[in-house]
A and B are shown apart, each in its own frame.
Chain A
Amino acid sequence: METKSQFLKGCARTLVLQLLAERSMYGYELAADLDRRSAGIFALGQGTLYPLLYSLETKGQIRVAREEISADQGRKRRYYALTPRGRMELESSISTWKEIVRGMRLVLESAAT
């Protein structure tokens, strides 16, 4: 289980960049979208999404595009968008993942036959 959660965290970085490349989103929207489009595989521990967003923001791969402040209880929707640096990171990350998936499939499928 521990291995799975570590593994998912590694994947989440690429997926968050991919979703933000499509349109800017705020945290809850991003978590819900990730959950829905991954058929629930990425539904666990939504709180881990924010450290990921902050670290991507610190690295300059995403930025806060706009904020919507609701009057009650100081709630704020911060919409994140990809920066050019984030787009480059996404492209290199996707090609790495494709290679890994291809390699895994080749080995696992040849082992099964």
Chain B
Amino acid sequence: MENTILNTKFFIPDTRLKLVYRDRLINKLNQGIHRKLSLISAPAGFGKTTLVTEWLDKFLLNAEMDTQIKCCIAWLSLDENDNDPVRFLNYFIGALNKAEGIAETIGQKAMSILQSPQLPPAETILTLLINDIITIPDQIVFVLDDYHLIEAQSIHDALNFLLENLPSQMHMVIATRQDPPLPLGRLRARDQLTELRAADLRFTPDEAADFLKKVMGLDLSEEEVASLETRTEGWIAGLQLAAISMQGQDKSNFIQSFTGSHRFVLDYLVEEVLEQQPENVQEFLLRTSILNRLSSPLCDAVLDLPLSSGQETLEFLERANLFIVALDNERRWYRFHHLFAELLRQRLEQQKPDLVAKLHTRASVWYEKHGLEFEAFQHAASVNDVERAERLIAGDGIPRHLRGAVTTVLTWLQSLPRSTLNARPALWWRYATFLMFNGQTTGVDEKLQAAENALQGVELDDKTRNLIGQIAGTRAMLALTRYQVEDLLVQSRRALEYLDPKNLSSRASATLTLGFACFLQGDRTAARQAYLETIKLCQDCGNTFTAIMAANGLGNVLEIETHLHQAVETYQHALQLFGDQPLHTHAGQASLGLARISYEWNDLDAAEQYGEQSLEQVRQYDEVIDRFIFSEIFLARLKLAQGGVDDAAALLAQTERSARQRNFIHRLPEIAEMQVLILIRQGQVGAAAKLARQYELPLSQARVALAQGNAFAALSTLESYRQKMEAKGWADELLKVMILQSVALQAQGEKDKAMQVLGEALAMAESEGFIRIFVDEGSPMAQLLSEAALQGIMPSYVNKLLDAFDAEGQKKDVTSSKQLVDPLSNREIEILELIASGLKNKEIAEQLVISINTVLYHVKNIYRKLGVNKRTLAVAKAKEINLI
């Protein structure tokens, strides 16, 4: 049922069989086809829509016959509810897809982004759409009918953007009752605008004569025609009604009375025409005037007569060209000509005021029965049937994500007196939630407080308990937006305490916010439990969105608890939940998680794929969201591992700039952490030290100390950090600390201790297959692992890690052999790395268990191949060509 109404917005109205030839107007429109816009701006009743449809009919015919240009026509009839930019764009794209000759793939990318809860700027979406439109080979004409109903500035802006970047094969037509707030002056100046206004659209005396005589078949004298034309001033609707009136009565009498009266033309004529209709038709028209759209079953419901005559009457009215317009080919839906709806409604209210409420209620009931809760709500609200309206907004039928629907509900709520709201505390709560759906947080506290006040002294039964729970749940949501962790925890718990156990959806939300609260407080175990619980609840109540957020959260917790395999499963599940919306913003978190884990497992190709996918996904977030930073930091880390130090540095510099520009100061420490790594790799230890100090990053400070040769300081920092992490039970940080500790201990010469710590780290890391956390430490770690191999510690794991090191070395070999005429052997590289870590020849000999002469021999060859004569130069050159 819903689809039928939606499709009617794309329906191109039928052209009337008999028409007045308006060639002068048609020609103007034809000539304007190469311009961007044809604007038809005139009050109601000037035949705008008729003109456009007639023109399109003729234009299409001519185009095909004369010039063989194929022309696609897209039509969108606007209504008051289209003031929501998302809905508008959805319908805009829908109209394009509906047009014959335009592929269904046009606008698909834009359409899928429109599903995101947080939207990128309209320009981004429109650019995607425009790029699709450009690929259409044929001429396109897009008609926006009744544009005066659009009041949202965001839509005017979007349309403006579209016009500025309009593909050359596209032509826009806007029919409206008032000039749209678009830069018409500019368009005129650039000869991009064709305008038809009331003065153009009025019937000229000749056209009036044509109409009255030929189309309406009236036999009138020139004088009579002239006086009618004068009285109506060529207003088409007026002439039409006059003609219809005259068909049923004495013409000269009519003309005399009509032209002699000062009464508002429309009022006069509608009354005339109405009075000529049979009684049942008059009743029909008056009663159904409350409806925005008419269908026979709906009309029958509203009329509530013993015999259903809706269909007959509608067809009669259409044939007689009286007041109504068909909205589809099947003749299922109609609407009133705008002018007449107002007038009929006014007559109804004047003549039968007591009936109005009954009619609206019948309409509301019918709409509800047919699953159209929003329309049902509108009718209930217009007669202030609070009980009915409240019930309807409580259901799932009203689309929360559609701003148009939300603001309609809010308008109604705002109109209610406090006493009404106080009598229904749940309505206060609804008010608060709808404000939040509308993106507002101001005023929400007051409404929630009002709800609680209204509940004072009320008996605590299941319903009121549930309401208290709902209120707490909303308070939790508020706390989340304000980063008030304490409150978030308290309210989430309160919600769960009071919510009805059967209210799965709300319980899922509250459990999710509880999970967030625990996580933010550092209680990973509790967070994990909460997320798991949320997912289960969502499975039972089908709340996919909450499930996805919980899956993201869970994946993250598992990941940092070093349960990599489980994390992967969870992230993949989250991605699956997105189904046919792979570009969805929240998918970015899951993708990034998979990127990080792929990286850790040394699958750098997969890591790159997921990493870039995550960036594309999170870029669709609103500008105030800083998620993209995590993806960019990751991609920089990846670049580093792939050997592109300078590239990584450049990427990260850009990220830092964006972060500062947009004031995302909370992310600067994370960026700095990566920057420290890069700076150390680049040999800029001083700069790295500065950053590490500035942001107080323990691991970074330890690394810097190591790079400065100060293993002692490094160990002291690491020890205190380790204690903290052990106390918190943070496995991921512990692992990192232990690995750095073993490297530092080795640098200090404490081999045994180093081996011990390494052994602990390996034991922790083995089952989840950590690789890069070791490999990224470079040759010092390689040495440690070789020693571990010798000692027979966890042989299969250690060998796997050593193989990874070899692969790294080979990668570097590949790149370096491209650069050196005489490439270094593996052994030579090995020795070079030991030289780089500060070992003297004697120490190298001991390390590798070879004679010092052999070492000297290798060193000589190294110098030769690198074209240097000193150790320091050899190391520098080797680093320069990414050899070590």
The yes or no verdict on A and B being binding partners is no
> Interface residues, chain A, CB within 8 Å of chain B?
none
Binding site for A on B (CB under 8 A): none
